[in-house]
Amino acid sequence: MITRAAVVPHPPLLVPELVAGAAAETAPVRAATVAAAGKLPGPWVAVAVDVGGPATFVPPLTGTFLGYGVDVPVTLGGDGRPDPRIPLPVLITAWLRERCAVEVSRVELVPPDLAPADCVEFGRELAGQDCGLLVLGDGSTRHGPRSPGANDDRSGPFDEHVHALLAAADTAGLLALDPGLARELGAQGRAAWQVLAGVPGPWRCASAEFFAPFGVGYHVAVWERP
């Protein structure tokens, strides 16, 4: 049974070498992300959203952040030449694994348009795993003028709502998130959060934080069994 889950973002800015000029500004979200992941028991099963999904990545596997500006190799376990085609959520999972010294069983990527009902089904399939569940997903990309997308005034209320749902371990509320609105706001994490909501409870939230250092919403939360 999954007894603990961590919700974390997966932006390249988590890797200090990729943001040398903004390491201090990004330090809070980095520290919170590593701390949340570090509370998960091993082995990990990670779930994230990617346009290449559905796809499964298992160790041994080595990747690199070269495509994001710096050749920082990371591994899910094992040795080998870095594969430059590894998707970002898998790279971040490997980066976190190295910092937490935990085994990763696999990384599951789901497509961005996965329907809530299918997210629930996938969450139920995962429920019987004896693992820590790492859920990777970013919030809206439209927070203010520094955002990579055009500013959208709906982003603030949307991510405030997501934060409140995560803080309350409100699975029904997460499943009620509108996929269309999430897509419009660039909140790619919607499907991954709804996979978590599909894992049968009961759950309680041990901690929940929210950051938006460069106009993108980053949620960090830890759920556990009461």
pLDDT higher than threshold 90 for residue 146 = no
Q: What is the sign of the dihedral through the CA atoms of 59, 136, 123 and 98?
A: positive
23 — pLDDT class (breaks 50, 70, 90): confident
What residues contact residue 222 under an 8 Å CB cut-off, 6+ apart? 4, 5, 6, 7, 36, 39, 205, 206, 207, 208
The CA–CA distances, whole Å, from 53 to 79, 106, 164 equal 25, 14, 28
How far is Cα of residue 136 from the mean position of the Cα atoms in its chain?
Answer: 1
The pTM for the full model equals 0.97
pLDDT of res. 78: 87
Mean pLDDT, rounded, of the chain: 96
53 — pLDDT class (breaks 50, 70, 90): very high
Q: Determine what percent of the chain is predicted with pLDDT higher than 90.
A: 93
pLDDT of res. 102: 97
- Please compute Rg for the chain using Cα positions: 16
63 — pLDDT class (breaks 50, 70, 90): very high
The CA–CA distances, whole Å, from 206 to 8, 147, 163, 203, 216 equal 14, 29, 13, 9, 24
The CA–CA distances, whole Å, from 145 to 212, 214, 216 equal 12, 9, 11
